[in-house]
């Protein structure tokens, strides 16, 4: 069962890599989710807003069709609204400062052997692991 | 027009990959970050699978200036490794670990993530806006 998850993970990963390849080879753009969204929020990407909106539309539409057809995905997100708000703010602030997230720094950066992408990835993984460790071990205290 | 069609297909393929790989499931993310507990290695397979085609694609465009559609290929590799990158990544990682969502999966799960998914996305947009509002006034000018 667990091994099947790994296989699906790898297959899904290849599709993500193909999506990023397509965006790079055809559109000439780095596929970074935070950058594509961020450019629409802070005006820095308004000169190519239609390309950004098209990408986001695909990112919303295809999973919507699949989830309505097969009814399988669940996000299992926490029900704690305060955690969600804090996490959302941290993700928005952090990815804007670092100018990248898991797709931009992680996938596109590492595959390019970009030191910047690798450094960013190491820091957000260590930070995320520390938070998960804290949640698992000290949550009773909070 | 072609440009927007391919952007839409790229986004759709990205979303499909995120769904199939289980990356829209916050428990899979938090399970992967749980290195000191019951560690779930799935995310490593996702990263590995995504990096292989992208490694080849970067090689293909390494000596090219324009894409197949004739647009300029974005070059972000000249940016420095500075405190913005480190502090930003640490803050992002903290939020990522806290609920198990990063920007791509948050948007991909918009249609089935429920109210809590919307709250996450709105908070994330506010975070982006906050930094863009203050970044020009403080030392960490980013753009």
Query: Is position B75 within any domain?
Result: yes
Q: How many CB atoms neighbour CB A21 within 10 A?
A: 25
Q: Is A57 helix (H, G, I), strand (E, B) or coil?
A: helix
Contact B127 A131 (CB under 8 A): no
What count of CB pairs under 8 Å joins A to B?
488
Out of A27, A75, A131, whose CB is closest to B97?
A131
By residue range, what is the domain housing residue B107?
Answer: 2-134
Contact of A46 with chain B, judged by CB distance below 8 Å, is answered with no
Task: Tell me the domain boundaries of chain A.
Answer: 78-142
The count of other CB atoms within 10 Å of the CB of residue B40 is 20
B90, part of any domain: yes
Chain B: give the shortest CA distance to residue A53, in Å.
Answer: 8
In a mutational test of the B interface, the residue from A17, A29, A100, A107 whose CB has the highest number of chain B CBs within 10 Å is A17
Residue B54 included in any domain: yes
Complex ipTM value = 0.95
Cα distance between residue B132 and residue B98, in whole Å: 23
Q: Rg of the Cα trace of chain A?
A: 17
Side-chain half-sphere exposure of A59, counting CA atoms within 13 A = 29
Find where tokens 């769904």 sit.
Answer: B19
Q: State residue B107's pLDDT score.
A: 98
Round to whole Å and give the CA distance between B55 and B34.
28
Distance CA A23, CA A29 (A): 6
Is residue B93 situated within a structural domain? yes
Asked if A124 and B89 count as a contact pair (C-beta separation under 8 A), the reply is: yes
B10 reaches A (C-beta below 8 A) = yes
User: Given an 8 Å threshold on Cβ–Cβ distance, is B54 in contact with A13?
Assistant: no
For residues A116 and A18, what is the distance between their CA atoms, to the nearest angstrom?
Answer: 22
B73 shares contact with chain A (CB less than 8 Å): yes
- Look at residues A30, A120, A94 and name the one whose alpha carbon lies nearest to residue B57: A30
CB proximity A49 to B under 8 Å: no
Percent over 90 (pLDDT), chain A: 86
Question: Where residue A26 falls among pLDDT bands split at 50, 70, 90?
Answer: very high
8 Å CB contact of A17 and B33: no
Closest CA to A55 of B108, B17, B68: B108
Number of domains in chain B: 1
**In the numeric block, which tokens belong to residue B14?**
């990205």
Closest CA to A67 of B42, B29, B18: B18
The confidence band for A71, taking pLDDT boundaries of 50, 70 and 90, is confident
Q: Is the pLDDT of residue A9 over 90?
A: yes
Give the per-residue pLDDT at A1: 53
Asked if residue B141 belongs to a domain, the reply is: no
Position B107 in a domain = yes
Instruction: List chain B pLDDT tens, one digit each, 143 residues.
Output: 899 999 999 999 999 999 999 999 999 999 999 999 999 999 999 999 999 999 999 999 988 889 999 888 876 667 889 999 999 999 999 999 999 999 999 999 999 999 999 999 999 999 999 998 887 655 455 54
């Amino acid at each position: 069962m667990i091994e099947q998850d790994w296989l699906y993970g790898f297959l899904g990963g290849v599709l993500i890599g193909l999506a990023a390849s397509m965006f790079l080879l055809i559109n000439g753009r780095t596929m970074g989710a935070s950058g594509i969204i961020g450019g629409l929020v802070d005006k820095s990407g308004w000169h190519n807003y239609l390309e950004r909106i098209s990408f986001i539309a695909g990112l919303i539409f295809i999973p919507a069709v699949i989830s309505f057809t097969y009814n399988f995905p669940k996000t299992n997100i926490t029900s704690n609204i305060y955690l969600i708000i804090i996490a959302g703010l941290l993700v928005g602030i952090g990815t804007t400062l670092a100018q990248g997230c898991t797709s931009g720094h992680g996938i596109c950066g590492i595959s390019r052997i970009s030191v910047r992408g690798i450094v960013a990835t190491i820091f957000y993984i260590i930070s995320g692991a520390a938070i998960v460790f804290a949640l698992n071990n000290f949550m009773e205290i909070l | 027009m072609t440009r927007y069609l391919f952007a839409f297909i790229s986004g759709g393929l990205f979303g499909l990959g995120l769904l199939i790989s289980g990356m829209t499931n916050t428990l899979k993310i938090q399970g992967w970050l749980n290195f000191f507990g019951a560690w779930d290695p799935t995310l490593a397979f996702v990263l590995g699978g995504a990096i292989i085609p992208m490694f080849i694609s970067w090689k293909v465009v390494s000596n090219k200036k324009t894409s197949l559609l004739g647009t300029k290929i974005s070059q972000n590799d000249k940016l420095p490794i500075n405190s913005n990158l480190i502090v930003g990544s640490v803050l992002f990682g903290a939020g990522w670990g806290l609920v198990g969502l990063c920007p791509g999966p948050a948007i991909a799960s918009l249609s089935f993530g429920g109210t809590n998914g919307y709250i996450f996305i709105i908070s994330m947009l506010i975070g982006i806006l906050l930094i863009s509002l203050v970044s020009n006034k403080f030392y960490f000018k980013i753009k």
